Amino acid sequence: MSDESREFHKPVRRPAELFDRVYSAEDPAEVSRAAHSTAQALLSRVRDEPDADVVERLVGFTDQHGIDDIAELWSRSPATSLPGALWRLYLIQLMIHDDPGTAALLYERGRIELSSADDVVAGAPTPAGPEELVTLIDVILRGAFSGDFAVALERASAFCRVQAAGSTYIADDYEPTEADRASALTRRALRLADYGTDLATSAALWRRDALT
Protein backbone atom coordinates (compact mmCIF):
# COMPACT_ATOMS: atom_id res chain seq x y z
CA MET A 1 0.00 0.00 0.00
CA SER A 2 1.41 3.40 -0.91
CA ASP A 3 1.99 6.04 1.77
CA GLU A 4 -0.85 8.14 0.34
CA SER A 5 -3.41 5.42 1.06
CA ARG A 6 -2.37 4.55 4.62
CA GLU A 7 -4.09 7.47 6.31
CA PHE A 8 -7.44 6.77 4.61
CA HIS A 9 -7.12 2.98 4.61
CA LYS A 10 -9.71 0.60 6.03
CA PRO A 11 -9.91 -3.22 6.03
CA VAL A 12 -10.44 -4.62 2.56
CA ARG A 13 -10.97 -8.02 1.02
CA ARG A 14 -7.55 -8.14 -0.60
CA PRO A 15 -4.54 -8.03 1.75
CA ALA A 16 -2.07 -5.20 1.25
CA GLU A 17 0.76 -7.76 1.06
CA LEU A 18 -0.60 -8.96 -2.29
CA PHE A 19 -0.44 -5.44 -3.66
CA ASP A 20 3.20 -5.11 -2.54
CA ARG A 21 4.14 -8.40 -4.17
CA VAL A 22 2.42 -7.52 -7.43
CA TYR A 23 4.17 -4.20 -7.73
CA SER A 24 7.57 -5.46 -6.68
CA ALA A 25 7.51 -7.83 -9.64
CA GLU A 26 6.36 -5.29 -12.23
CA ASP A 27 8.31 -3.02 -14.52
CA PRO A 28 7.51 0.55 -13.34
CA ALA A 29 7.15 1.70 -16.93
CA GLU A 30 4.60 -1.04 -17.61
CA VAL A 31 2.72 -0.16 -14.43
CA SER A 32 2.60 3.49 -15.50
CA ARG A 33 1.32 2.63 -18.97
CA ALA A 34 -1.33 0.35 -17.53
CA ALA A 35 -2.46 3.01 -15.06
CA HIS A 36 -2.87 5.66 -17.73
CA SER A 37 -4.52 3.36 -20.27
CA THR A 38 -7.06 1.98 -17.77
CA ALA A 39 -7.97 5.44 -16.48
CA GLN A 40 -8.44 6.81 -19.99
CA ALA A 41 -10.43 3.77 -21.14
CA LEU A 42 -12.69 3.81 -18.09
CA LEU A 43 -13.48 7.50 -18.28
CA SER A 44 -13.98 7.45 -22.06
CA ARG A 45 -16.30 4.46 -21.96
CA VAL A 46 -18.50 5.85 -19.20
CA ARG A 47 -18.70 9.30 -20.79
CA ASP A 48 -19.31 7.97 -24.30
CA GLU A 49 -22.02 5.53 -23.14
CA PRO A 50 -23.43 6.98 -19.91
CA ASP A 51 -25.25 4.32 -17.93
CA ALA A 52 -26.64 5.24 -14.53
CA ASP A 53 -26.07 1.76 -13.13
CA VAL A 54 -22.44 1.73 -14.23
CA VAL A 55 -21.83 5.17 -12.75
CA GLU A 56 -23.39 4.13 -9.45
CA ARG A 57 -21.24 1.01 -9.33
CA LEU A 58 -18.13 3.13 -9.86
CA VAL A 59 -19.20 5.62 -7.20
CA GLY A 60 -19.79 2.79 -4.73
CA PHE A 61 -16.75 0.75 -5.75
CA THR A 62 -14.68 1.19 -2.57
CA ASP A 63 -17.66 0.39 -0.36
CA GLN A 64 -17.92 -2.99 -2.07
CA HIS A 65 -14.29 -3.80 -2.84
CA GLY A 66 -12.10 -1.58 -0.65
CA ILE A 67 -9.25 0.52 -1.94
CA ASP A 68 -6.61 -2.07 -2.86
CA ASP A 69 -8.04 -2.91 -6.28
CA ILE A 70 -7.93 0.75 -7.24
CA ALA A 71 -4.50 1.12 -5.69
CA GLU A 72 -3.20 -1.57 -8.03
CA LEU A 73 -4.24 0.60 -10.96
CA TRP A 74 -3.53 4.18 -9.98
CA SER A 75 -1.78 4.79 -6.65
CA ARG A 76 1.73 5.21 -8.06
CA SER A 77 0.73 7.55 -10.86
CA PRO A 78 1.91 11.18 -10.90
CA ALA A 79 -0.27 13.48 -8.84
CA THR A 80 -1.25 15.60 -11.83
CA SER A 81 -2.26 12.84 -14.21
CA LEU A 82 -5.63 11.29 -15.03
CA PRO A 83 -5.04 8.16 -12.91
CA GLY A 84 -3.51 10.29 -10.16
CA ALA A 85 -6.58 12.52 -10.08
CA LEU A 86 -8.98 9.57 -9.97
CA TRP A 87 -6.91 7.99 -7.19
CA ARG A 88 -7.19 11.16 -5.11
CA LEU A 89 -10.94 11.39 -5.67
CA TYR A 90 -11.37 7.86 -4.38
CA LEU A 91 -9.13 8.46 -1.37
CA ILE A 92 -11.10 11.56 -0.41
CA GLN A 93 -14.33 9.61 -0.76
CA LEU A 94 -12.94 6.84 1.43
CA MET A 95 -11.87 9.34 4.08
CA ILE A 96 -15.39 10.78 4.27
CA HIS A 97 -17.18 7.42 4.23
CA ASP A 98 -14.83 5.95 6.82
CA ASP A 99 -15.33 8.72 9.40
CA PRO A 100 -18.05 11.17 8.34
CA GLY A 101 -18.32 12.63 11.85
CA THR A 102 -14.72 13.85 11.90
CA ALA A 103 -15.01 15.01 8.29
CA ALA A 104 -18.06 17.11 9.20
CA LEU A 105 -16.28 18.60 12.21
CA LEU A 106 -13.26 19.59 10.12
CA TYR A 107 -15.40 20.91 7.29
CA GLU A 108 -17.56 23.10 9.50
CA ARG A 109 -14.54 24.58 11.28
CA GLY A 110 -12.81 25.23 7.98
CA ARG A 111 -15.93 26.83 6.52
CA ILE A 112 -16.11 29.22 9.48
CA GLU A 113 -12.42 30.13 9.46
CA LEU A 114 -11.78 30.47 5.72
CA SER A 115 -12.42 33.78 4.00
CA SER A 116 -12.75 32.31 0.52
CA ALA A 117 -15.32 30.93 -1.88
CA ASP A 118 -14.12 27.35 -1.43
CA ASP A 119 -17.16 26.34 0.61
CA VAL A 120 -19.44 27.61 -2.16
CA VAL A 121 -17.39 25.91 -4.88
CA ALA A 122 -17.41 22.58 -3.04
CA GLY A 123 -21.19 22.81 -2.80
CA ALA A 124 -21.89 21.55 0.71
CA PRO A 125 -25.01 22.78 2.54
CA THR A 126 -24.61 25.03 5.57
CA PRO A 127 -24.11 23.56 8.07
CA ALA A 128 -22.89 20.27 6.61
CA GLY A 129 -23.37 17.23 8.81
CA PRO A 130 -21.92 13.74 8.31
CA GLU A 131 -24.70 12.53 6.00
CA GLU A 132 -24.52 15.68 3.89
CA LEU A 133 -20.77 15.28 3.40
CA VAL A 134 -21.12 11.63 2.38
CA THR A 135 -23.72 12.70 -0.16
CA LEU A 136 -21.54 15.58 -1.35
CA ILE A 137 -18.43 13.53 -2.01
CA ASP A 138 -20.48 10.91 -3.86
CA VAL A 139 -22.04 13.65 -5.99
CA ILE A 140 -18.58 15.02 -6.80
CA LEU A 141 -17.30 11.57 -7.78
CA ARG A 142 -20.44 10.92 -9.82
CA GLY A 143 -19.81 14.21 -11.64
CA ALA A 144 -16.29 13.08 -12.52
CA PHE A 145 -17.75 10.15 -14.47
CA SER A 146 -20.88 11.69 -15.93
CA GLY A 147 -20.49 15.49 -15.79
CA ASP A 148 -17.79 18.09 -16.35
CA PHE A 149 -14.60 16.40 -15.17
CA ALA A 150 -12.79 19.68 -14.53
CA VAL A 151 -15.67 20.99 -12.43
CA ALA A 152 -15.63 17.79 -10.36
CA LEU A 153 -11.90 18.19 -9.75
CA GLU A 154 -12.34 21.84 -8.82
CA ARG A 155 -15.12 20.98 -6.36
CA ALA A 156 -12.96 18.28 -4.80
CA SER A 157 -10.04 20.69 -4.62
CA ALA A 158 -12.14 23.29 -2.83
CA PHE A 159 -13.47 20.61 -0.49
CA CYS A 160 -9.89 19.64 0.41
CA ARG A 161 -8.95 23.24 1.17
CA VAL A 162 -11.91 23.66 3.53
CA GLN A 163 -11.06 20.39 5.27
CA ALA A 164 -7.39 21.31 5.48
CA ALA A 165 -8.21 24.64 7.08
CA GLY A 166 -10.50 23.00 9.61
CA SER A 167 -7.89 20.38 10.44
CA THR A 168 -5.25 23.06 10.96
CA TYR A 169 -7.37 25.15 13.31
CA ILE A 170 -8.53 22.16 15.34
CA ALA A 171 -4.91 20.96 15.57
CA ASP A 172 -4.06 24.33 17.11
CA ASP A 173 -6.85 23.82 19.65
CA TYR A 174 -5.46 20.44 20.70
CA GLU A 175 -1.79 21.44 20.77
CA PRO A 176 -1.66 22.57 24.44
CA THR A 177 -3.31 19.42 25.83
CA GLU A 178 -3.12 16.60 23.23
CA ALA A 179 0.06 16.96 21.22
CA ASP A 180 -0.29 13.59 19.45
CA ARG A 181 -3.81 14.41 18.30
CA ALA A 182 -2.62 17.81 17.14
CA SER A 183 0.21 16.23 15.14
CA ALA A 184 -2.15 13.78 13.45
CA LEU A 185 -4.49 16.60 12.47
CA THR A 186 -1.59 18.67 11.17
CA ARG A 187 -0.45 15.77 8.99
CA ARG A 188 -3.99 15.40 7.67
CA ALA A 189 -4.13 19.12 6.92
CA LEU A 190 -0.90 18.96 4.94
CA ARG A 191 -2.07 15.94 2.97
CA LEU A 192 -5.42 17.55 2.18
CA ALA A 193 -3.74 20.81 1.15
CA ASP A 194 -1.51 18.84 -1.23
CA TYR A 195 -4.53 17.05 -2.67
CA GLY A 196 -6.27 20.39 -3.15
CA THR A 197 -3.32 21.71 -5.13
CA ASP A 198 -2.97 18.51 -7.17
CA LEU A 199 -6.65 18.44 -8.10
CA ALA A 200 -6.74 22.11 -9.05
CA THR A 201 -3.72 21.61 -11.31
CA SER A 202 -5.31 18.52 -12.84
CA ALA A 203 -8.51 20.49 -13.53
CA ALA A 204 -6.55 23.19 -15.33
CA LEU A 205 -4.70 20.57 -17.39
CA TRP A 206 -7.99 18.86 -18.29
CA ARG A 207 -9.39 22.12 -19.60
CA ARG A 208 -6.36 22.38 -21.89
CA ASP A 209 -6.70 18.74 -23.00
CA ALA A 210 -3.34 18.11 -21.37
CA LEU A 211 -4.27 15.75 -18.52
CA THR A 212 -3.04 12.29 -19.50
Residues 145 and 59: beta-carbon distance below 8 Å: yes
Residue 187: per-residue pLDDT: 96
* Residues 6 or more apart in contact with residue 193 via CB below 8 angstroms: 160, 161, 164
DSSP class of 147: S
Q: What is the pLDDT of residue 17?
A: 35
pLDDT of residue 27: 65
Q: List average pLDDT for each run of 10 residues in the chain, which is 212 residues long.
A: 50 34 55 86 83 88 83 90 95 94 96 93 93 96 94 98 97 95 96 97 97 92
pLDDT tens for each residue of 61-91: 888 888 888 888 898 899 999 999 999 999 9
* Residue type present at position 51: D
Can you tell me the distance from the alpha carbon of 208 to that of 108, in angstroms, rounded to the nearest whole number? 33
50 in helix, strand or coil? coil
What number of other Cβ atoms are within 10 A of residue 190's Cβ?
13
pLDDT of residue 69: 82
**Residue 172, number of CB atoms within 10 A of its CB:** 12
Cis-peptide into 127, omega within 30 deg: yes
Three-state DSSP class for 51?
Answer: coil
> How many whole angstroms separate alpha carbon 88 and alpha carbon 99?
17
Would you state the pLDDT for residue 18? 30
State the DSSP code for 80.
T
DSSP string, 55-106: HHHHHTHHHHH-SHHHHHHHTTS-TTSHHHHHHHHHHHHHHHHH-HHHHHHH
Q: What is the pTM (predicted TM-score) of this model?
A: 0.84
3-state secondary structure of 176: coil
